[in-house]
């Protein structure tokens, strides 16, 4: 008698036994270490090995800054009309539809009103995944509405920037937003309502040239790229090699362009403490 | 990282200093303008106490 008996029929290899490992691990660009994605997320998307701050989306940022379930989003119904009917490699309208589908947003910013460690605040958070967080008419209008809401309610304003600059597909309309937002911020300043600007990777172009640098307190995350023109353009213009770390937040802090570089884990208590000083 | 309270206090002091400098410039500006006007109308500028005496 045999100890083992071969069963008739083919082995079934389908479905349930397959283990997918794709997307479970992330390679840190900075230290080249492989990190378990869950570990990274638990550490607020900061590399636990070297402290590199990975980019996070606008919704995650809001959840990170505002007290749980104590905020409401607003102005989310505004959408670009493609005023120039712009076409480059693709139609702008097509790019917009794709970005709206990918992010679930109408444009590159979320406006919210809520509480930060119990203190009412108005927050605008930019979404880099939406056409590079570029600022067109809608982003300009939404940020202006955020400023006006802060002015009306006398609540401090926090803008979290993540942007490649003005949206080229909207031409001069996007450049007009720089002046529009700056004018609204001047009114906020006159009313003595505090404004804290948080710059994340990357904050460049027209956004840096307007509201990102106009805060009563300008702070940035570690290692964030912050500048107006890119380093390659500057090198070609001035015909000089730029120093190491140029346009990174630590370099800007050292040269007086920023007030502080604050790690993501400390951002919320840091802002709360700043507001304690400003509102008192 | 600096304490944010300390940082904001220092920032406020800096702002006060700049405001004072702007005020001082506002006071000096009309004086400089008066000097410019006198040069434009061909009038002799006000002597600045250099000790130069004209021969008569």
pTM: predicted TM-score of the whole model, two decimal places: 0.85
Q: Please tell me the predicted confidence (pLDDT) of residue A25.
A: 93
| Cross-chain Cβ contact A273/B5 below 8 Å | yes
Residue A280: pLDDT band (50, 70, 90) is confident
Helix-helix angle B4-40:A264-279, to 10 degrees: 60
| Cross-chain Cβ contact B4/A278 below 8 Å | no
B11 vs A contacts (CB less than 8 Å): 217, 259
| Min Cα separation B4/chain A (Å) | 6
Residues of chain B whose beta carbon is less than 8 angstroms from a beta carbon of chain A are 1-2, 4-5, 7-9, 11
| Min Cα separation A274/chain B (Å) | 6
What would the pLDDT profile of A177-190 be if each residue is shown by its tens digit?
Answer: 999 999 999 999 99
| Cross-chain Cβ contact A266/B4 below 8 Å | no
Closest CA to A275 of A155, A111, A125, A110: A155
Length of chain B: 56
Pairing outcome for strands A109-116 and A72-74:
antiparallel
**Cα A264 → chain centroid:** 12
Q: Please tell me the predicted confidence (pLDDT) of residue A232.
A: 85
Mutate to test the interface with B, among A220, A260, A265 (most CBs of B within 10 A): A260
Residue A279: is its pLDDT beyond 70? yes
A261 touches chain B (CB under 8 A): yes
Q: Please tell me the predicted confidence (pLDDT) of residue B51.
A: 47
* CA pair distance A104, A99, nearest whole angstrom: 8
Q: What are phi and psi of A166, to 5 degrees?
A: -70, 150
Of A260, A266, A278, the CB nearest to B2: A260
Q: Please tell me the predicted confidence (pLDDT) of residue A13.
A: 66
Cβ burial of A176 (10 Å; 0-12, 13-18, 19+) is: middle
Q: Please tell me the predicted confidence (pLDDT) of residue A143.
A: 98
Whole-number percent of chain A with pLDDT over 70? 96
At residue B25, the 3 state secondary structure works out as helix
Residue A215: pLDDT band (50, 70, 90) is very high
CB interface of A with B, residues 126-155, below 8 Å: none
- Most confident among A17-31, A101-115, A226-240 (mean pLDDT): A101-115
Q: Which residues pair with A91 in a beta bridge?
A: A87
- Chain B residue nearest residue A222, CA to CA: B1
Mutate to test the interface with B, among A249, A277, A280 (most CBs of B within 10 A): A277
Mean pLDDT of A161-180: 96
Q: Give yes or no for a contact between A206 and A166, defined as CB atoms under 8 angstroms apart.
A: yes
What would the pLDDT profile of A34-71 be if each residue is shown by its tens digit?
Answer: 999 999 999 999 999 999 999 999 999 999 999 987 89
What would the pLDDT profile of A118-144 be if each residue is shown by its tens digit?
Answer: 999 999 999 999 999 999 999 999 999
Q: Please tell me the predicted confidence (pLDDT) of residue B39.
A: 73
- Chain B residue nearest residue A277, CA to CA: B5
ipTM entry: 0.77
pLDDT beneath 70: ranges in chain B: 41-56
Mean pLDDT of A240-244: 92
Pairing outcome for strands A260-261 and A217-220:
parallel
Residue A22: pLDDT band (50, 70, 90) is confident
A266 touches chain B (CB under 8 A): yes
Domains of chain A: 19-54 (no CATH), 56-279 (3.90.226.10)
Mean pLDDT of A22-31: 90
Q: Give yes or no for a contact between A124 and A146, defined as CB atoms under 8 angstroms apart.
A: yes
Q: Give yes or no for a contact between A163 and A202, defined as CB atoms under 8 angstroms apart.
A: yes
Q: Please tell me the predicted confidence (pLDDT) of residue A241.
A: 92
Tokens of A184: 């609204």
How much is the mean pLDDT over chain A? 94
Q: Please tell me the predicted confidence (pLDDT) of residue B56.
A: 42
Q: Please tell me the predicted confidence (pLDDT) of residue A134.
A: 97
Q: Please tell me the predicted confidence (pLDDT) of residue B25.
A: 95
What would the pLDDT profile of A151-166 be if each residue is shown by its tens digit?
Answer: 999 999 999 999 999 9
DSSP one-letter code for A109: E
| Cross-chain Cβ contact B4/A274 below 8 Å | yes
């Amino acid at each position: 008698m045999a100890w083992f008996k071969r069963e008739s029929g083919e082995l079934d290899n389908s479905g349930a036994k397959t283990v997918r490992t794709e997307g479970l691990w992330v390679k840190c660009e900075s230290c080249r270490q492989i990190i378990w994605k869950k570990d990274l997320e638990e550490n607020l998307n900061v590399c636990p090995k070297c402290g590199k701050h990975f980019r996070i989306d606008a919704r995650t940022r809001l959840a990170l800054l505002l007290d749980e379930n104590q905020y409401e989003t607003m102005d989310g119904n505004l959408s670009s009309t493609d005023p120039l009917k712009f076409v480059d490699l693709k139609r702008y309208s097509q790019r917009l539809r794709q970005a709206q589908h990918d992010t679930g947003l109408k444009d590159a910013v979320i406006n919210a009103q809520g509480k930060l460690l119990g203190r009412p605040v108005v927050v605008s958070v930019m979404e880099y995944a939406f056409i590079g967080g570029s600022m067109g008419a809608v982003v300009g209008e939404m940020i202006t509405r955020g400023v006006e809401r802060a002015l009306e309610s006398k609540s401090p304003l926090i803008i979290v920037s993540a942007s490649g600059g003005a949206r080229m597909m909207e031409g001069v309309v996007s450049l007009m937003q720089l002046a529009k937002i700056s004018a609204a911020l001047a009114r906020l300043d006159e009313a003595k309502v505090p404004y804290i600007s948080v710059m994340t990777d990357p904050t460049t172009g027209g956004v840096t040239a307007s509201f990102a640098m106009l805060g009563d307190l300008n702070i940035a995350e570690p290692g964030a790229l912050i500048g107006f023109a890119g380093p390659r353009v500057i090198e070609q213009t001035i015909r000089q090699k730029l120093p190491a770390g140029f346009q990174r937040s630590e370099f800007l802090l050292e040269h007086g362009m920023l007030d502080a570089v604050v790690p993501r884990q400390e951002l919320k208590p840091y802002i709360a403490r700043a507001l304690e000083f400003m509102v008192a | 990282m600096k304490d944010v309270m300390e940082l904001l206090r220092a920032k406020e002091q800096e702002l006060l200093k700049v405001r004072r400098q702007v005020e001082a410039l506002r006071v000096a500006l009309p004086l400089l303008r008066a000097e410019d006007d006198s040069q434009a109308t061909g009038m002799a500028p006000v002597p600045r106490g250099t000790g130069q005496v004209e021969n008569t």
